Chains A and B, each alone.
Chain A
């Protein structure tokens, strides 16, 4: 009997340490014919089961044997976009349902963002992502900029990815701002305020430059009034200052907001966030950052003359958004954002059907070319994308009355 228990225990341990057992914790995918709320619920479980990395949400996960027994990042090395989407999703969900478990999960995701800061060892410097590992991972060399991975000096046994961009900057204010607004209790409201204060305060201290560990501006971190930068970055900085002033109550951020407008005309510069012509220069990825920025900014701004300019920017985007073909996961969210900000009812039957048809990812097998000391080896492995935007879209739509719970 004892031997049999030991044998069972042995088999259990073997299975426990086998990559294939715990790699994909959740394996149930929805059907395309399932109702929307079922699809969202199943994708939510897949995301939290397979992409969860200590509160952060990995965008693109590679499973063993190419990956580890926990999520590692794939070709997209960032986690801040999906992490902020899931933080927003659970914040809206809590607002709609008042489910304490939704708030608990949102708190855990927020703690993940805090860890993205803590792992860098520099207050206010936030990593793109981190991995708990005792050695550099293979994907660091080939899937992103290898020079941007660092050992953590503040949390031993962790490696983190630097060179934070304006896109991830926007994710932080969008995600944390939404969390503060709709979900956080008093304790977490203060934590959120402190994080944004450190993060944006450090950028302002560096003359509106997002600087990296080496002291240089990151390759996408330019909001500086003394340096030429994209119009979209002006919009993003105005949004960040408005949100942080609202959340922290510190006059410093209000003063900076008005300085950038009065002296440097960021309000005029942001008008050109959307490049409309030539047509080939239109960029849906940038539209996503503009949509999040306008959504956060326009709900907080009460100055009529500034609102006219932000509305002009929104209208420039709408000129293109209204004809999108919904091939991009955020296309339908642009429509929803426009409806929330404009007050116009733009949800046609066709667009409602697009919402009902929202779909996430499908797992697939892929060959990975993994660098070794002797060269490269080819490893076939499974990888999984993410449906965080879909989950966010759903709860955003529920929050603002655009999605029927019965769908």
Chain B
């Protein structure tokens, strides 16, 4: 009887198939877990559209460890071509393609909030790894595959290349943060926000708070890729 009770106890307390021992859900392959809660969003030192710095909140979600690669995207779109040897390079696509891929994969594009939280955690850091910069912390240029930074720094939740490599699409339109009082004619539902910067552009754009805007039907010649998120049931 005691044994039976113990087995019942184990069944009730043991982690389920997608749950870790510490209570966190087990992420699907290639993804990491970001818990629900508050974090510091925006900055006081960046562009006017990063202001005001404020406390934002997300639910819990999973997010891809790496940007989606060429070979992964080709599984979704059989007509997608890329140079041989670039299987592991991040894919560069327009927002509409990124969104379609995410749906096909049973995922979705991250909101700006989710992207920023996954990149900087809760402590308001400038970069995914902290507040200092070194060239070895980022994928040097577009000739290199994803995850090839020399120092291989992770974000607080275990994501790679959220600074540098390619820009990354988010789900959101380019709109001012609540309380922002600097008008921009670009705000509205014409442009999607991309994050994370690209090494081809200036280092300061790899800050976790930087926002840039591009129409969803073009990359406008910027190297823009994406990573996906997945809701937790």
Contact of B201 among A146, A219, A275, A281 (CB under 8 A): A219
Judge whether A222 and B222 touch: CB under 8 Å. Answer: no
B207 at the interface (CB under 8 A from A): yes
B189 at the interface (CB under 8 A from A): no
Contact of A219 among B45, B140, B205 (CB under 8 A): B205
Stretch of B2-10, B33-41, B46-54, B105-113 on the interface side: B46-54
| A361 / chain B contacts, CB cutoff of 8 Å | none
Stretch of A10-18, A23-31, A35-43, A227-235 on the interface side: A227-235
Judge whether B186 and A214 touch: CB under 8 Å. Answer: yes
Contact of B221 among A144, A216, A222, A226 (CB under 8 A): A144
Judge whether A216 and B45 touch: CB under 8 Å. Answer: no
B182 at the interface (CB under 8 A from A): yes
Contact of B202 among A144, A215, A220 (CB under 8 A): A220
| B207 / chain A contacts, CB cutoff of 8 Å | 227-228
Given contacts A146-B220, A214-B186, contact A222 B204 (CB under 8 A): yes
Judge whether A216 and B201 touch: CB under 8 Å. Answer: no
Say how far A190's CB is from chain B's closest CB, in angstroms: 33
Judge whether B203 and A222 touch: CB under 8 Å. Answer: yes
Say how far B152's CB is from chain A's closest CB, in angstroms: 15
Q: Is the interface of A mostly helix, strand, loop or mixed?
A: loop
| B45 / chain A contacts, CB cutoff of 8 Å | 226-227
Judge whether B48 and A145 touch: CB under 8 Å. Answer: no
B184 at the interface (CB under 8 A from A): yes
Contact of A147 among B135, B202, B220 (CB under 8 A): B220
B76 at the interface (CB under 8 A from A): no
- Nearest to B211 among chain A residues (CB) is A216
Given contacts A147-B214, A275-B135, contact A215 B203 (CB under 8 A): no
Given contacts A215-B47, A215-B48, contact A221 B221 (CB under 8 A): no
Q: Which of A217, A224, A228 gathers the greatest number of chain B CB atoms within 10 Å?
A: A228
A217 vs B204: C-alpha distance in the bound complex, in angstroms? 9
Say how far A214's CB is from chain B's closest CB, in angstroms: 6
| B93 / chain A contacts, CB cutoff of 8 Å | none
Contact indicator per residue, chain B 168-200, by CB within 8 Å of chain A (1) or not (0): 000000000000001011100000000000000
| A217 / chain B contacts, CB cutoff of 8 Å | 47, 202, 204
B68 at the interface (CB under 8 A from A): no
Judge whether B221 and A224 touch: CB under 8 Å. Answer: no
A216 vs B47: C-alpha distance in the bound complex, in angstroms? 6
Say how far B183's CB is from chain A's closest CB, in angstroms: 9
Judge whether B135 and A281 touch: CB under 8 Å. Answer: yes
Say how far B27's CB is from chain A's closest CB, in angstroms: 31
B133 at the interface (CB under 8 A from A): yes
B: contact size bracket? 20 to 34
B118 at the interface (CB under 8 A from A): no
| B221 / chain A contacts, CB cutoff of 8 Å | 144-146
Contact indicator per residue, chain B 203-226, by CB within 8 Å of chain A (1) or not (0): 111010000101100101110000
A227 vs B45: C-alpha distance in the bound complex, in angstroms? 8
- Nearest to A283 among chain B residues (CB) is B141
Judge whether B126 and A228 touch: CB under 8 Å. Answer: yes
Judge whether A222 and B202 touch: CB under 8 Å. Answer: yes
Say how far B44's CB is from chain A's closest CB, in angstroms: 9
- Nearest to A216 among chain B residues (CB) is B47
| B184 / chain A contacts, CB cutoff of 8 Å | 214-215
Judge whether A216 and B49 touch: CB under 8 Å. Answer: yes
| A227 / chain B contacts, CB cutoff of 8 Å | 45-46, 204, 207
| A145 / chain B contacts, CB cutoff of 8 Å | 220-222
Within 8 A of A (CB), among B131-189: 132-133, 135, 140, 182, 184-186
| A221 / chain B contacts, CB cutoff of 8 Å | 202
A219 vs B203: C-alpha distance in the bound complex, in angstroms? 9
- Nearest to B134 among chain A residues (CB) is A228
Contact of A230 among B132, B203, B222 (CB under 8 A): B203
Judge whether A228 and B204 touch: CB under 8 Å. Answer: yes
Contact of B203 among A147, A229, A275 (CB under 8 A): A229
Within 8 A of B (CB), among A181-224: 214-217, 219-222, 224
A219 vs B127: C-alpha distance in the bound complex, in angstroms? 17
- Nearest to B131 among chain A residues (CB) is A228
Judge whether B48 and A216 touch: CB under 8 Å. Answer: yes
- Nearest to A230 among chain B residues (CB) is B203
- Nearest to A142 among chain B residues (CB) is B221
| B133 / chain A contacts, CB cutoff of 8 Å | 228
Contact of A281 among B140, B182, B214 (CB under 8 A): B140
A146 vs B48: C-alpha distance in the bound complex, in angstroms? 23
A275 vs B185: C-alpha distance in the bound complex, in angstroms? 39
- Nearest to A219 among chain B residues (CB) is B201
A229 vs B202: C-alpha distance in the bound complex, in angstroms? 7
Given contacts A145-B220, A146-B221, A227-B45, contact A219 B214 (CB under 8 A): no
A219 vs B210: C-alpha distance in the bound complex, in angstroms? 11
| A215 / chain B contacts, CB cutoff of 8 Å | 47-48, 182, 184
Say how far B153's CB is from chain A's closest CB, in angstroms: 14
| B140 / chain A contacts, CB cutoff of 8 Å | 280-281
| A230 / chain B contacts, CB cutoff of 8 Å | 202-203
- Nearest to B141 among chain A residues (CB) is A281
Q: Can you list 18 A-B contacts (CB < 8 A)?
A: A144-B221, A145-B221, A146-B218, A146-B221, A166-B202, A214-B186, A215-B47, A216-B48, A217-B47, A219-B201, A222-B202, A226-B45, A227-B46, A227-B204, A229-B202, A229-B204, A280-B140, A281-B140
Starting from the known contacts A217-B47, A226-B45, A228-B127, 7 additional A-B residue pairs (CB-CB under 8 Å) come to A146-B220, A214-B185, A219-B201, A219-B212, A227-B46, A230-B203, A281-B140
The 7 closest A-B pairs by CB, nearest first: A228-B133, A219-B201, A222-B204, A227-B204, A216-B47, A222-B202, A226-B45
Which positions in B face A, CB cutoff 8 Å?
Answer: 45-49, 126-127, 132-133, 135, 140, 182, 184-186, 201-205, 207, 212, 214-215, 218, 220-222
